[in-house]
Every structure is written in C-alpha cells, then in structure tokens.
Amino acid sequence: MIRRIAYRMFGNFCSKIALPGFEKKLRQSRLFIPFPMYLSLFFFCIFSAAAISLLLIFFICFLYLSKIINDSFSFSLIFAAAVFFIGSVCFIFAVFLLLPELCAYDRKIKIEKQLLFAVNYMSALAAAGVRSEVIFKTMASGQFIQIYGALSEEFSRYAVQTDFFGKDNPSALTLLAEETPSPLFSNFLTGAKNTFLSGSRFQNYILSKKHEYQSLAVRRKEKYFQTLELLSEMYITAFLAAPLFMTILLFSMMPFSGSKIEQMKLLAYQAVPFMGIFFLLVLEIINEKEDL
C-alpha cells in the first residue's frame, strides 16, 4: 500500500533518474523492488519526516501564541523538532543507501559458502553424462533450495530466463553472471558459458572447478584458524594477564597508598566481564561458521 502511494507521488520524477551502479546493487540484493519504486519510497519517507517536523513546529508555535509555554521552552522544542528532522533524514538516507549493499553482501556470503558443495554435486551429475543446462535447472528445483539456499535461488534466475523468456544458455549465464552479488560465482558462470561456446566438455570444467574450490576452502580455513590463534593470544595477554597484573599491583600498593578495594572491585566485577563480552562479540562477528 505504501509503495503504491509513494510511487503515485514520486514515480514520474524517479523514473527520470538513472543511477546504474546503485540499480545493479539493488538487483544483486534480490529485494525485488524496481529502482523507481525504491527511490519513490526514499522520497516518501523524507517527505513524511519533514511533514511530521513541520506539524511539531506549528504545534509549538500555537502553544507559544496561546501563552501556554514561554520563550525559552518553545525555543527548546523547536530545536528538538529540527534535530528530529535532521536525524530522521540522515537515518533514512543511511538505511536506503546501505540496505541493498548489506543484503547483497549477505547473499554473497551465503552463495560462496554453498558453492563448494554444489560444485561437488554438479560434478557427479556431469560425470553421469547430464547436460549442463539440465544440471543448472536441477540446482534450481525446490528440493535443492532447502539445501543450498541462496545459491539455488540464483540458479532459479537462470531457469526463469531459459524456460519463460526463451533465452539460450550463454545469454542466461551472462545475465546471471552480471547480476549475482558473488564475484566467485560470477567467475564460475562465465567459465561455464565460455566452455559451452568453445565446445569443450563441461565435465572437465566442473571437475577443475571442484579442485580449485576445495583448495580455496582449505586456504580460507587455514587463514581463519590463524586469525583465531591471534585472537586467543590477544585475549590471554590483554583480557586476562593485564587485569591480573593490575590487581596484583593495586594489592601491593595498599600499604603505601591506602585501600584500593574499590578500584579492585571495579576491575574484577566490571572491567573484566565487560572486556569478556566485548571479545565474544568480536569473535562472533568474525566467525565465519563454515562447515567443511
């Protein structure tokens, strides 16, 4: 409902605006919102924030003219309304600008996590003599969406282009390679298209990609373990040894500078738990959660 209202208000204006880079990122995010409608929603939210701010200002002016509030209080309220408008505009701009980027990045991570397993299965199908077109459409079927998730959804775009729009195999692969958010998957599709055009055996290509992605996964996992090792050393040094050293130092200084019980309590019951929670958050952010 809101989309329709926003498009009726700003659709004609937004249809004349062209941002090729942002439009591509919007397609890669798979939000399935046309660019003019997405831009119309942006202007509608800005317009709504401005309207609310103006209503607040008019209401404040009415209260001031009615002698309900004094000068200083009315000025504070007007200032708060202006801050609300500026903050709302900045927030809306950040959300609408970053949302496609974040969604595309999330899909990229999910696609690349499942690509190795999908290539292993596709190599088995290719070894059995199944044609590449059939393999790609098989990966787009409903049962594989539950297994491979975002990767199968990408292959479903290929199936739509070939089955419903009548495009040939190279054209559908080219379009999917341009719109997918994963450079690794785009490289795979481009190689598959070139293999098809050159008349080479798809079985040989998919087998080479299988070994390539296995080596890539091993290198990625080794890098991940090295990062965990570095973080563990940082945790032992900065989060365990340093608070323990400070506690011993404070305890040893008590005969010379008085009681340090409060500082020791602050260090033991607040600083150390806070640093532990912070370390867990950092660890959760960098944790790739890959199942190899």
pLDDT in tens, 16-59: 888 888 888 888 888 888 888 898 988 888 888 888 888 887 77
Which pTM value belongs to this model? 0.74
CA–CA distance, 239 with 275 (Å, rounded to integer): 6
Low-confidence ranges of the chain (pLDDT < 50): 291-292
The owner of tokens 């200002």 is 57
The owner of tokens 């409060």 is 262
pLDDT of residue 255: 66
pLDDT of residue 200: 81
pLDDT, tens digit (0-9, with 9 covering 90-100), for 213-230: 888 888 888 888 888 888
Q: Where are the domains of the chain?
A: 2-108, 109-212, 214-286
pLDDT of residue 292: 45
Q: Of 117, 113, 93, 115, which Cα lies nearest the Cα of 42?
A: 93
CA–CA distance, 74 with 65 (Å, rounded to integer): 10
CA–CA distance, 40 with 8 (Å, rounded to integer): 9
Handedness of CA 52, 55, 59, 64 (dihedral sign): positive
